[in-house]
Amino acid sequence: MAMKLNFDVDKLGPCKISSPLQSSHFVGDDERILYDITMKGFRKAKKLKGEPLSFEVSGPRSKIYFDPMKTRVGIVTCGGLCPGINDVIRGLVMELWYMYGVRNIVGFKYGYQGMSSNYCHEPMEMNPEMVSEIHRQGGSMLSSSRGPQDLDDMLDNLERMNVSILFAIGGDGTQRGALAIHEAAKKRNYKLAVVGIPKTIDNDLCFIEKSFGFETAFSAASESIVSAHNEAKGAPNGIGLVKLMGRNSGFIAANAALAMSYVNIVLIPEVPFKLEGGNGLLKYVEKRLLNRKHAVIVLAEGAGQELMETKGHRKQKDASGNLRLMDIGLFLKDQFNEYFKNIGMEANIKYIDPSYIIRSIPANPSDSVYCMLLAQNAVHAAMAGRSGMVVGQWNNTFTDIPIKMATMERNEIDPESQFWNNVLEATGQPSHFE
């Protein structure tokens, strides 16, 4: 990592108001969790001057910054859908209303568009009755959008509405936007607490062990793998192709493969592969069909993008400025059809893309618990005047992490890690197709 690690969280000022929480365990500002808990890290820290790297522990403080009766809170959800968004919204409203006594909560519709004067999205007044059942539904009750909006315009609107706290639920782009809002507010001397709840179904934000919705996503993906397996075994030389989410990181594909022992090949963005040649993917699948008569292949959406570029496919960008991924599933389906036709071998290929189904389903119970805990700790941090941060989890402890650190680079699978080796052992595939 090129950027120097600094896990200090910005604070709006001293906390002087007694918390309304009847807690038996308030967290002290000096409570921290180590970044590296290995013996190797311990020995390294002993040689350095000062304390080892650590994160601030999340949780309720005995003294808070904002007066709950005078505080107005805004909530916004941005980017693609993900299981658990409604759980987080519900958790925020319930914690603010019942635990802290905040009675002025608004939801901004359609992402950052709802904070801009260029659109006519009316803010939604929120209360516990409104959100009581939304955790049973998928999607986001506030809806979403992609793409940046004018920063000064959004801040002007927040100031006019007297918003003191903004919760931003979203992934990498959303959190970068939240950081920009935080930094611009500081320049104005506008006391705005900006706290992010990381929503990235790909599980690719730094220093966050698990993002909400991830477990639901790969669990639901497992059902598609079962279908692909049944289809592959239901025809001579059947190939079941399943494309899952994973723009830059293959965590969903890899975990889904580990969860279902039917998978024979996993393709992820972190491990480039070749199609042609004696050790290429096409030849490997041919051998697999000759020996076992079927194959199940799971691929992350970001895998093999460089192969399509060499075949003349052109990249485009979406509203957020991200490169729009080309469909690796359809590409591989065509490549398999052409290859087996040329060698005169029958192959029956079934392509399944469950992405939009997975993104919009309700969270499973485990993710719902995680969403509630993220929401509670986000509220604790915001009421204590923390800003420019996201809530995460590290070494089984909830932590406050500067957005700048969480977005410094993408969390990816290390091809040399034990985790990826576990996937290779489960599938039986070679470490590389080259």
Are 219 and 259 spatial neighbours (Cβ–Cβ below 8 Å)? yes
- Which residues have CB under 8 Å from 326's CB, separation 6+? 305, 308, 313, 315
Question: CA-CA distance, 315 to 75, in Å (whole number)?
Answer: 33
Kindly compute the dihedral angle of the four CA atoms of residues 164, 170, 172, 177, in this order, to the nearest 10 degrees: -30
Q: What is the pLDDT of residue 316?
A: 59
Work out the pLDDT band at 24, boundaries 50, 70, 90. confident
CA 191 to chain centre: 28
Work out the pLDDT band at 37, boundaries 50, 70, 90. confident
- Lowest pLDDT segment from 14-28, 183-197, 330-344: 14-28
Residue 47 burial class via C-beta count within 10 angstroms: exposed 0-12, middle 13-18, buried 19 and up: exposed
Using the 8-state DSSP alphabet, how is residue 152 labeled? H
Question: What's phi and psi for 390, nearest 5 deg?
Answer: -120, 155
State in Å, rounded, how far the first CA of the chain is from the last one. Answer: 28
Side chain identity at residue 367, one-letter code: D
Q: What is the pLDDT of residue 322?
A: 60
Distance of CA 10 to CAs 33, 177, 398, 402, Å? 17, 16, 17, 8
Residue 360 burial class via C-beta count within 10 angstroms: exposed 0-12, middle 13-18, buried 19 and up: middle
Q: The pTM is what?
A: 0.91
Catalytic site positions: 202
**104-138, pLDDT tens digit by residue?**
999 999 999 999 998 989 999 999 999 999 999 99
pLDDT exceeds cutoff 70 at 3: no
18 pairs with which residues across the strands?
Answer: 63
pLDDT exceeds cutoff 80 at 23: no
Q: Which H helix or E strand runs over 295?
A: strand 294-300
Question: CA-CA distance, 71 to 73, in Å (whole number)?
Answer: 6
Domain boundaries, the chain: 10-212+363-406, 215-360
| Domain pair 10-212+363-406 / 215-360, same fold | yes
The pair of structure tokens assigned to 328 is: 């690796």
Helices 365-383, 85-94: inter-axial angle, 10-degree rounding = 40
Side chain identity at residue 299, one-letter code: L
pLDDT exceeds cutoff 60 at 227: yes
Are 111 and 77 spatial neighbours (Cβ–Cβ below 8 Å)? yes
Q: What is the pLDDT of residue 106?
A: 98
Q: What is the pLDDT of residue 323?
A: 66
Question: CA-CA distance, 355 to 328, in Å (whole number)?
Answer: 13
pLDDT > 70 in the chain, percent = 96
Tell me the three state secondary structure of residue 323. Answer: strand
Question: What is the CATH architecture assignment of 215-360?
Answer: 3-Layer(aba) Sandwich (3.40)
Q: What is the pLDDT of residue 4?
A: 85
Work out the pLDDT band at 429, boundaries 50, 70, 90. very high
Are 315 and 323 spatial neighbours (Cβ–Cβ below 8 Å)? yes
Distance of CA 189 to CAs 13, 145, 185, Å? 12, 29, 6
pLDDT exceeds cutoff 70 at 222: yes
104 pairs with which residues across the strands?
Answer: 72
Question: CA-CA distance, 117 to 151, in Å (whole number)?
Answer: 11
**236-277, pLDDT tens digit by residue?**
999 999 999 999 899 999 999 999 889 999 999 999 999 999
The pair of structure tokens assigned to 227 is: 């279908």
Question: CA-CA distance, 214 to 253, in Å (whole number)?
Answer: 11
Q: How crowded is residue 283: how many other Cβ atoms within 10 Å of its Cβ? A: 17
Listed in sequence order, the DSSP H helices in 95-150 are: 128-131
pLDDT exceeds cutoff 70 at 313: no
Indicate the fold that domain 10-212+363-406 takes in CATH.
Rossmann fold (3.40.50)
Are 397 and 57 spatial neighbours (Cβ–Cβ below 8 Å)? yes
Q: What is the pLDDT of residue 210?
A: 85
Work out the pLDDT band at 317, boundaries 50, 70, 90. low
Q: What is the pLDDT of residue 43?
A: 83
- Closest C-alpha among 137, 80, 115, 55 to residue 377: 55
The pair of structure tokens assigned to 94 is: 């319930």
Average pLDDT over every residue of 376-397 = 96
Ramachandran sector of residue 293 (left: φ over 0; alpha: ψ -120 to 50; beta: rest): left
Q: Return mean pLDDT, the chain.
A: 92
Question: CA-CA distance, 292 to 237, in Å (whole number)?
Answer: 8
Are 326 and 315 spatial neighbours (Cβ–Cβ below 8 Å)? yes
